[in-house]
Structure 1
């Protein structure tokens, strides 16, 4: 198990960020993009019954030594720890994801985790754990729209039953109109990742959780993204999408190729 003071070096190595200098606020765009390209959003450990109590050491071992990915509470907790190592004023917040298929906020509670950062008197959300919806940039709570290779993102203020703020998005090639990502509050923040273990347990056990029924893995690529389930493989490439139905053998092959080793070229 690595010592906690190795986190900065191990994180930079995992996301292939070779710059050894202290991380400036302007560097966070690069950090978030590289994180999305190298650490997949995935639930494999849940599906294989390997989930463990959420601690700093577990996160380091899982994602920086074993080179696995994780869900929002894994990915954003790791990002939070990296930011703390780099002297950022950061904390963790919980939110409620909007279920677009059902047309309402999800009913499993505040199970989305993101990072809140204060920089030069302004607050931002950093999210490296929202699957294919990651902003890839800090999103200010001021309401300003930010644009990245994944689309446009903004935070709107307005009190609801689910939070005083909501992150909205317009994904590149996918959305014509703004849609809600999740709602959240900032009055209750978390600075100890182990306090999020209740989120992990809910995601693993709740009957309505989308992450405890089938494997799901997704990761950004140089020109789009790939998403793998046990029945399909979807690849977005320069705005074009190709989805293939797959069997279990093909699932294992694609899992090994795309998610079990450093990113490679497209398979033949």
Structure 2
């Protein structure tokens, strides 16, 4: 049996005795975002494997890799559930500003709904550089976080009953849609995310099956590594460095602890 509680705490550097509650979830989300990168290297390799508890534990907690939304929120869901929180995996569709609409891949974003004392919250550690780093209430309350302002708006769409909206610090001046999501039909089991993984890996319009993308978010900024550039945001200041393949491998190891072949 996988001891997800012990392994996850070790991966993010969390005290083995600290209880997991809504009140300290912000700190856990910050540790998770800093320790486990959002990256698509496995997707680029065409990994066809089924998504389940064993594969997630092996990838994220044994091999110490990162992953995409279904990997990162999948393993966080398992950890929160093992610690007694009332959580559900849900599906969403990411809004793509360049397309002026939602991703052609449809419901291929996985996130988490947390139920606590009669209230519901959106929890997400798999949204690339757009992480709230805080649970976002589903009651419409606007929250200020280290990465910007976030809120959940209740409105029906073809992809669900809510929208996550955001104003990222130092990047957005107006509210914009992050994704739509469906809260009424939670994912029944981890294996149901395998189809999502297949679409992201194979769909011709997937944003993650063409070029490497590595992202890490911290409380004071973020960093994005591609095959041709390394961009860092820190305290509102942005620096961008053009790189080659050798530098890419070096930076992947230095800043994301990933070995790129």
TM-score scaled by structure 1? 0.93
In the other structure, the counterpart of 2:184 is 187
* Two-structure CA RMSD over aligned residues (Å): 1.2
SS class of match (2:129): helix
Q: How far has the Cα of 1:53 moved from its partner? A: 1.3
Q: Per-residue deviation at 1:22?
A: 2.1
- Deviation of residue 70 (structure 1)? 0.4
What runs of 5+ residues in structure 1 fail to find an aligned partner? 262-268
Q: Please, what TM-score do these two structures have when normalized by structure 2? A: 0.96
* 1:148 match: 145
Which residues of structure 2 form unaligned runs of 5+? none
Deviations 1:147-192 (A, max 9, x none): 1110110000111222210000000111110000000111110141
Q: Any runs of at least 4 consecutive aligned residues in structure 1 with deviations exceeding 4 A, and if so which?
A: none
| Residue of structure 2 equivalent to 1:252 | 249
Partner of 2:122: 125
Which residue of the partner structure matches residue 196 of structure 1?
193
Matched position secondary structure for 1:131: coil
Which residue matches 2:8? Answer: 11
Q: Please say if residues 30 and 219 of structure 2, whose CA atoms lie closer than 8 Å, have aligned partners that are also in contact.
A: no
Q: Give me the whole-angstrom Cα distance separating, in 1, the residues matched to 2:91 and 2:197.
A: 12
Structure 1 contact 45–51 (Cα < 8 Å) conserved: no
Structure 1 distance, partners of 2:14, 2:243, is: 34
1:163 aligns with 2:160: yes
Indicate the residue corresponding to 2:80 in structure 1: 83
Partner of residue 206, structure 1 = 203
Which deviates further from its counterpart, 40-49 or 165-174?
40-49
Q: Do the aligned residues in 1 keep the contact of 2:13 with 2:31 (CA within 8 Å)?
A: yes
- Partners of 1:252 and 1:21 lie apart in 2 by 36
* 2:173 aligned partner: 176
Bigger Cα displacement from structure 2, 43-52 vs 21-30: 43-52
Query: Would you say 1:47 and 2:73 are equivalent positions?
Result: no
